[in-house]
Structure 1
Amino acid sequence: MTQTAIPYLFMRGGTSRGPYFRREDLPEDQEILARVLIAAVGSGHPLNIDGIGGGAAVTTKVAMLSRSEDDWADIDYFFAQVSVEEQLVDFKPTCGNILSGVGPAAIEMGLIEPAGDVTEIRIRAVNTGARILARVQTPGGRLIYGGDTEIAGVPGTAAPIELNFMEVVGSSTGAFLPTGKLRDVIDGIEVTCMDVTMPMAIARAADFGLTGYESVAELDENRAFFDRMERIRIQAGQMMGMGDVTKSVTPKFGLVAPAREGGTVTVRYFMPWKTHPSMAVTGAQCMAACVLTPGSVADGLAPLPEASPATVELEHASGSIDVLVDFSMEGGFTLNSAGLMRTARKLADGHIYVPASVWSGERSGR
């Protein structure tokens, strides 16, 4: 046999897509696992021509699911960000958009039995330890994908999937403000380094000479901006206690600017070496928290809400995303939880084939 067959689901989760596997169907050893995912996606070619990736960071993401041994969770969600053009896999971050498909995928895989018209699934993000309660539409005990919910960046409508993120502060670094400051100056730019679901360095677009309303293509073509942003991101990672982040996709980078379409603020989010076509679910929570935090780089861009919970509408490159934030302001800003509404759809299922020289199918070798 020259190839190894691996069962999988191919799903869109939010504004991302990729293969969803049962963890038990993949190698235990993480180095071998990385090689398997690189082969499956076709990493190392701009079109991922020898795999199922789509030539963009939002289409080279992988979810691996298993029943959880955690006392709180039902499902463990292990995420991998596979590089498009480099043969690299980053196991450090998580992805909230791919998370949108975890509940339906767990049902499809037989890891969860539907319960009533709405099935609640408690998910533990293995990479960060985050806990998420997902509510999936299962009318009459049957999983559905069709519905009336629309999210920016995805054509058409689908069934809503409610995601409620708990204990999201300091998910990667252990601190809301990992540098201990509301603002730091790096390479002459003020940034807020914040860790809410996703560690980020956030700056004002105007400080880079940008409006914040540039298109994805305009930003991606601005290599001078990307070079400077990357220098700032790498130094921010060190200041946040994350070590050398040169080859890691975290911390992510974000820009804020005043809203112009009736939302709370305008944002641009970076993956980090390309502009996100819309907005990451994890990053949206961090940027919403930044908007609500007095003294951050977003302070003054929008009026602060008078009561909690509050909806923060982030205008992004392809529309907007709403983040429902539960917080308190006693003794300073404290984030309690954040929630979003997403959608997902099963696109295909079957087997992915990788060369047997990459992996023979044996799971030993940890």
Structure 2
Amino acid sequence: MNDLISIPCVLMRGGTSKGPFFLASDLPSEPASRDQVLLSVMGSGHPLQIDGIGGGNPITSKVAIIGKSTVPDADVDYLFAQVRVDQQIVDTSPNCGNMLAAVGPFAIEAGLAAVSGETTIVRINNLNTGKMIEAEVPTPQGRVAYMGDAAIDGVPGRAAPIALTFMDAAGARTGQLFPTGKAIDTIDGVDMTCIDCAMPMILMEAESLGVSGYETSAELNGNGALLQRMEALRLSAGERMGMGDVRDQVTPKPVLIARPSKGGALSVRYFMPHECHPSLATTGAVGIATACISEGTVAARLVGLQQPPVILSLEHPSGRLDVKLDHRDGKVVAGILRTARRLFEGRVFAKPVKNLICAA
């Protein structure tokens, strides 16, 4: 194995996602070299990622890179990378809120954040968006606790709760809550809300695309005509949102919404962007909930305009995800409960990259 690169790695589950966590100091600082390492590690370009540790699905083909904070008000920097399964593409334009749930525990155990009592607040600077997130990590007896009684839909069993608070998530990518300047745009006869809050998204009523919004992920993934139509709408919306040609980017994410069927606020089907999420992205939930409190959006049109403080329950294919919206210092903050688990630690091996030096 002396012709391979050996890199320290921790495999972690964060929320309903899973992937390798790296210290920034263990990866190349030059983005192109770093991305080549990640593609090799994950095995991208093959539907099963058979030559890497990726899981052959967008929610298991994610990477978190953690380093010392470069801003005064944070404990750590967090760079998220969505590594495509089918293509050798690494996209660092979005954040991932599910992987974010494991950042606090990883940072504490890596010695980047100090324990402070029974619960430790880790302030995370997300490099993808320039936004701050607070993670409340259970640390009884001075150590991270993973076992507990919290349950989240989309993950079996119970674990210790990790509370995430997104501080002023609006304009995460484009700098504006509504990048087109409007709460509703109409593209090819479809009304949509182009919103950028924690994640750039386009929200559309499911009925406007000929589906109910209550289908399973598998049913939607098998609807080729729907996926093709949504991709055309996504490309047009990306241009209108000032994001340029987004065909090689995973944002904006298409989201189908419908009236609730199980007592929640909305029924949601979130795409990543070419495959329906088996549950719901945490960042997506923040943006969808924010649309519910924003006048004139397609979400507010369905649910009725909501006013903070409010808890909105979003129905997804695996259950529900609750988002608490409130005001702090004149800005909207969003709180979500997640769980995380440390799965494996050791070293991962990557194919060599020209002129690359990694930690021994």
Normalising by the smaller structure, the TM-score range is: over 0.9
Letter in 2 for 1:202: L
Check whether the contact 1:9–1:350 (CA below 8 A) recurs between aligned residues. Answer: yes
Instruction: Note the aligned Cα RMSD (angstroms).
Output: 1.4
Check whether the contact 1:4–1:359 (CA below 8 A) recurs between aligned residues. Answer: no
Paired position in structure 2 for 1:176: 177
Residues 1:24 and 1:185: Cα distance change in structure 2 (over 3 Å): same
Of the three residues 335, 340, 349, the one matched with 2:336 is 340
Could you give the per-residue CA deviations for residues 94-152 of structure 1, whole angstroms, max 9, x where no partner exists?
Answer: 10000000000111212122111000110000011010011000012111100000001
Paired position in structure 2 for 1:130: 131
- Which secondary structure does the structure 1 equivalent of 2:301 belong to? coil
TM-score, normalised via structure 1 length: 0.95
Check whether the contact 2:33–2:356 (CA below 8 A) recurs between aligned residues. Answer: no
Matched, 1:275 2:276: yes
- Which secondary structure does the structure 1 equivalent of 2:299 belong to? coil
- Which secondary structure does the structure 2 equivalent of 1:227 belong to? helix
Letter in 2 for 1:139: P
Check whether the contact 1:4–1:360 (CA below 8 A) recurs between aligned residues. Answer: no
Name the CA distance, whole Å, in 1 between partners of 2:287 and 2:145. Answer: 30
Between 349-358 and 239-248, report the one with greater CA deviation: 349-358
Aligned residues: 357
After TM superposition, the structure 1 = structure 2 runs for residues 1-366 of structure 1, keeping only pairs within 5 Å, are: 1-305=2-306, 307-326=307-326, 336-357=332-353, 360-362=356-358
Residues 1:250 and 1:242: Cα distance change in structure 2 (over 3 Å): same
Residues 1:48 and 1:73: Cα distance change in structure 2 (over 3 Å): same
Name the CA distance, whole Å, in 1 between partners of 2:58 and 2:207. Answer: 26
Between 335-344 and 120-129, report the one with greater CA deviation: 335-344
Q: Which runs of 5+ in 2 are unaligned?
A: none
Name the CA distance, whole Å, in 2 between partners of 1:352 and 1:196. Answer: 34
Letter in 1 for 2:346: G
**Aligned-pair CA distance for 1:336:** 1.1
- Which secondary structure does the structure 2 equivalent of 1:97 belong to? helix
- Which secondary structure does the structure 2 equivalent of 1:299 belong to? helix
Could you give the per-residue CA deviations for residues 173-200 of structure 1, whole angstroms, max 9, x where no partner exists?
Answer: 1111110111111111000001111111
Could you give the per-residue CA deviations for residues 225-279 of structure 1, whole angstroms, max 9, x where no partner exists?
Answer: 1111001111111101111101100111111100010101100000001001100
Paired position in structure 2 for 1:331: none
Letter in 1 for 2:19: G
- Which secondary structure does the structure 1 equivalent of 2:225 belong to? helix
TM-score, normalised via structure 2 length: 0.96
Name the CA distance, whole Å, in 2 between partners of 1:3 and 1:300. Answer: 55
Tell me the percent identity: 48
**Aligned-pair CA distance for 1:362:** 4.8
Name the CA distance, whole Å, in 2 between partners of 1:200 and 1:125. Answer: 18
Letter in 1 for 2:169: V
- Which secondary structure does the structure 2 equivalent of 1:77 belong to? strand
